[in-house]
Amino acid sequence: MRTLSRIIGACALSIALWVIALPDASAAERTILVFGDSLSAAYRLKPEQGWVALLNERLRTQGYGYNVVNASISGETTAGGLQRLPRALELNKPQILILELGANDALRGLPLAVAKDNLSKMVEAATKAGVRVLLVGMRIPPNYGPKYTADFVQMYTDLSKQYRTPLVPFLLQSVALDSARMQDDGLHPNASGEPAVLDTLWPQLVPLLKKDR
């Protein structure tokens, strides 16, 4: 297992803020805002290989009229996300927020009560703006101790129950233990793993979607 400092350094190497638009973006009346960290920012991949770009393509081919805006930043924490979210909501006016944050808080050993409070405030801000939220959970290596590891998992479950928000329990469920679909850092999917990441998230997203008629 790599040291914590090396993990943090790797996550901080890439900062991305990019927009994936449907071919005719002006015709799309609805927006999905993806708000996450390197797991959503196509870390060390071409943007079109990431699960967010693949989501955009799936929405298009299945007749969902949504713009997908990816406001994910590698290395982002819940504190950084909380600072950025109001502006992102104002600029993009999304109907759906996919909130994928918290892993970097845990990898840095930050207090989970703070991370939970930050996530709570983000969910509340989105809900107040009339935005439906899909909360995306993660897992961390066991070397952080059994209590911290269990509390991290429980944080997402508690938030989902508190706000009655759909939850993806573990974004990397189908790829985390498959070295053929993970990058050599053991933390991020490679290009062959990204479609499976989308497949993990998709069933929880579909009930939030509206199709073009």
Q: Are 64 and 210 in contact (CB under 8 A)?
A: yes
Closest by alpha carbon to 40, among 100, 103, 126?
100
CA-closest candidate to residue 74, choices 117, 107, 97, 96: 107
Predicted model pTM: 0.88
Q: What is the mean pLDDT of the chain?
A: 89
Q: What pLDDT is stored for residue 212 in this prediction?
A: 64
Whether residue 117 lies in the annotated active site:
no
Environment class of 184 (CB within 10 Å of its CB; exposed 0-12, middle 13-18, buried 19+): exposed
Q: What is the mean pLDDT of residues 97-116?
A: 98
Q: What letter represents residue 97's amino acid? A: L
Least confident of 26-35, 109-118, 139-148: 26-35
pLDDT at 104: 98
**pLDDT, mean of residues 45-49:** 98
The two tokens of residue 6 are 């090396």
Average the pLDDT over 70-85 and give the result. 98
Known catalytic residue at 158: no
Mean pLDDT to the nearest integer, 152-176: 98
For residue 29, what pLDDT is reported? 76
> How confident is the model over 136-145, as pLDDT tens digits?
999 999 999 9
Residue 75 predicted with pLDDT over 80: yes
Given the residues 38, 40, 74, 160, select the one marked as catalytic: 38
Q: Which CATH superfamily is domain 4-208 in?
A: SGNH hydrolase (3.40.50.1110)
38 classed as catalytic? yes
Q: Point out the catalytic residue in the list 158, 178, 185, 199.
A: 185
Catalytic residue selected from 74, 105, 160, 188: 188
| Averaged pLDDT for residues 60-85 | 97
d(CA 173, CA 179): 13
Given a cut of 60, is residue 8 above it in pLDDT? no
Radius of gyration for the alpha carbons in the chain, expressed in angstroms and rounded? 16
